[in-house]
Amino acid sequence: MSSDLFYALTGASLFTLGLYALIKHAHILRKILAINVMGSGVFLLLVALAAGGQQAFDPVPHAMVITGIVVAISATALALALMLRLREASGLAVLPDTSPEELSEQLPEAPSDVASKNNGKNA
Amino acid sequence: METLTLLSWAFDVTLGLTLMWLAWRALASEDLFKGIVLFIAFGLLMALAWVRLDAPDIALAEAAIGAGLTGALLLGALAKLEAGAESRSRRSEILPRPADKTKVFSGLLVFLLLALVVMLVYAIVKLPPLASGLSAQVAENITASGVSNPVTATLLNFRAYDTLLEMAVLLLAVLGIRSLAVVQEPRGREPGAVLDMLSHLLVPLLILVSGYLLWVGSYAAGGAFQAGAVLAATGVLLLLTGWLPGAWFVGWPLRFLLIFGLAVFVAVTLVLQLFGASFLEFPPSLAGSLILLIEVAAALSIGVTLTALFLGGRPQPEPPSSGRAEKRNTSGTQPS
Amino acid sequence: MSFTDILTVLLLLAGASFFLAGTVGLLRFPDVYTRLHALTKADNLGLGLMLAGLALQAESWTVVARLLLIWVLILLASSSVAHLVVRTAQQKGIRPWKR
């Protein structure tokens, strides 16, 4: 087993770890971190597999990963801006599994429309 | 050299396990701030892994963009998130789920992901060894590309459309952010004597380093993205020390700089097409200087764009209206 | 192994031990000010020792000049960043640890 293969396996494990966290966590910032970890895993897998057993390195996957890193930061920045906008609009920075009604019961003093809907129902 | 291979093996395994552990802690720790700091450490160790994989170009990009600037973005967003209502954001982090649903769901999820890992590992181990890849073709044509660093040749000549579209992606991201939020300029933060002196020393030096990275990219690790990342780090430093662009800058000059890289890239290809070249084909005699021209423009644009991403919105030079400030204030104090 | 090689190894080991001390300080010290104190001082010295060790192995003077430039850049950057962190901590009202 060469060290390239070891890094390829590390990349695959990082991808799966990120996928688990992406599904498991409700907070959007945590989901963004998870997607970044998944991306790092894919990059590692790509370069390590291309390096496997070769003498001269293949520059094409290297160039693609550099492109990928810049695209990843663009997507991260846009996702963070969307998260902040969602917080401004709904008061929460999470993507919950529960319906809005259940959510408002769990968070009684949640602001704006969720809370007012709840009050209206009680009255 | 038996001991040397053993040592490098020990290093690789330690690095790989540390990467896994840092990623796990970054994603599972209770505190978001702690998670982000661990993620930055993860990015820096990723840069080390790139060096081990003989990819110094990626290592530079990962350390500057993947760890540094992404970390700054995440920390900035977290600060904005907590500025509004601290108690609420902390609590929403531990949103409860129905207990019975969670247990079945987690079990199924872990099972599926374990199956995925097993399949991935099987596929990777069983993969037939790569015959040659594209390194031979790149080596054959490197003299016609105008540069001698194969990665730069790939980025700006052989696969120039990747880079062209990537500039477009950066521009789209900045347009999206500018349409999502408005940033009021923070008022009256004096840098102070120490920071003033340090930034006077550091900023010219960083610009010099950026130019060096751009120049060296034609024959060694470096290039437009790394140079742009250093420029962006300079921009972030200036924003943090309290240096603010004048009102004249945030209008047309800023917009011009944001599109400059993409515009030069497109203009070069269009002019070449007028002279009979096919799309994104550079004539070998001119390729070196054309690539340098595009890279200078791209590095400037990347630097300004990444700084704008850190700013996180459309800068607004006017002082904030009193109504908006009051609204912020009340929403901050109400929940308690 | 020549004399310069031995000197390089010693300098690298000394540098690594300073990094270790700085990291232990970062993990064990009680508040942000003492942590920064451990980190900036020990790491900058450790880096200087390591770069000195590498400079002994350099093929040409331009490499030595580049190593020196790296050190100067990191000294300036780390002092700026440390100052920024402390200023933010003070603005947030974090009191220095006393006991």
What are the extents of the domains in chain C? Answer: 3-92
pLDDT tops 50 at residue B91: no
- What predicted TM-score, i.e. pTM, was given to this entire model? 0.84
Q: Is B96 on the interface with A (CB under 8 A)?
A: yes
Across chain B, what does the average pLDDT equal?
81
Q: Residues B71, B72, B76, CA angle at the centre, nearest 5°?
A: 115
Cα-based distances in Å from A54 to A48, B102, B321, C31: 11, 46, 63, 49
Which of A15-24, B126-135, B235-244, C42-51 shows the lowest mean pLDDT across its residues? B126-135
Count each helix (H run) and each strand (E run) in chain A, helices first: 5, 0
Residue contact A40–B42, C-beta within 8 A = yes
pLDDT of B113 reads 92
A3-90, what's its fold?
Answer: Helix Hairpins (1.10.287)
Higher local confidence (pLDDT), B130 or B67: B67
pLDDT of residue B285: 81
The pLDDT of residue A112 is 44
> What pLDDT sits at residue C27?
85
- For B278-329, what is each residue's pLDDT tens digit? 777 788 888 888 888 999 999 999 999 999 998 888 877 655 444 443 333 3
Q: How many helices (H) and strands (E) does chain C have?
A: 3, 0
pLDDT of residue B89: 44
Q: Do B93 and A96 touch (CB under 8 A)?
A: no
CB-CB neighbors (< 8 A) of C73 in chain B: 202, 205-206, 209
Question: What per-residue confidence (pLDDT) applies to A110?
Answer: 45
Give the model's pLDDT for residue A116: 42
Residue of B75, B3, B65 whose CA lies nearest to B34: B75
> Is B195 within 8 Å of C72 when comparing Cβ atoms?
no
Chains B vs C: touching, with 3+ CB pairs under 8 Å? yes
Contact assessment for residue B202 and residue C76, using Cβ atoms and an 8 Å cutoff: yes
Distance, in Å, from the CA atom of A37 to the CA atom of C94, rounded to the nearest integer, reads 32
Confirm or reject contact between B193 and chain C (CB < 8 A): no
> Is residue B245 predicted with pLDDT exceeding 60?
yes
Residues of C in contact with B192 (CB under 8 A): 87
Interface subset of B 252-311, CB within 8 angstroms of C: none
Comparing C72 with A114, the larger pLDDT belongs to C72
Give the pLDDT mean for B249-262: 88
Cβ distance B81 to A32 under 8 Å?
no
Range scoring the smallest mean pLDDT among A117-121, B23-27, B28-32, C68-72: A117-121
Provide φ and ψ at A94, rounded to 5°.
-130, 155
Closest approach of B128 to chain A, Cα-based (Å): 10
The CA distances from residue C25 to B51, B90, B325, C49, C85, in Å, are 28, 29, 41, 19, 17
pLDDT digits 0-9 by tens, A75-102: 999 999 999 888 888 777 777 666 556 6
Single out the residue of A47, A44, A23 nearest to residue A34, CA to CA: A23
Q: Is the pLDDT of residue C10 over 90?
A: yes
Residue of A9, A62, A105 to mutate when probing chain B, most B C-beta within 10 A: A62
Q: Do B195 and C87 touch (CB under 8 A)?
A: yes
Q: What residue spans define the domains of chain B?
A: 1-95, 100-126, 149-336
Record: contact B201-C76, CB cut-off 8 A: yes
The pLDDT assigned to A103 comes to: 59
> In which band, very low, low, confident or very high, does the pLDDT at B185 lie, cut at 50, 70 and 90?
low
User: Which residues contact residue C5 at a Cβ distance below 8 angstroms, ignoring those fewer than 6 apart?
Assistant: C57
* pLDDT average, residue stretch B50-65: 90
Q: Are C47 and C74 in contact (CB under 8 A)?
A: yes
- Contact yes or no for B335 and A14 at CB 8 A: no
C-alpha–C-alpha distance, residues B8 and B5, integer Å? 5
Residue A119: the pLDDT is 43
Give the gap in angstroms from C-alpha B76 to the nearest C-alpha of chain C.
Answer: 13
Task: Judge residue B262's burial from the number of C-beta atoms within 10 Å of its C-beta, 0-12 exposed, 13-18 middle, 19 or more buried.
Answer: buried
B128 in contact with chain A, both atoms CB, cutoff 8 A: no
| Cβ-based contacts of B206 with chain C (< 8 Å) | 73
Q: How confident is the model at residue A111 (pLDDT cuts 50, 70, 90)?
A: very low
Most A-contacting residue of B7, B9, B11, B19 (CB-CB within 10 A), to test interface: B19
Cα torsion B21, B23, B29, B32 to 10°: value is 150
B209 in C contact zone (CB under 8 Å):
yes
* Mutation for B interface: A44, A80, A83, A99, most B CBs within 10 A: A80
CA distance A120 to chain B (A): 19
Cβ B69–A73 below 8 Å, yes or no? yes
Query: In chain A, which segments carry CATH 1.10.287.3510?
Result: 3-90
Supply the pLDDT for residue B190: 67
Let me know: does B24 contact B35? Beta carbons within 8 Å. Answer: no
pLDDT digits (tens, 9 = 90+) for A12-57: 999 999 999 998 888 889 999 999 999 999 999 999 888 765 566 7
Are B264 and B224 within 8 A, CB to CB? Answer: no
Chains that touch A (3 or more CB pairs under 8 A): B
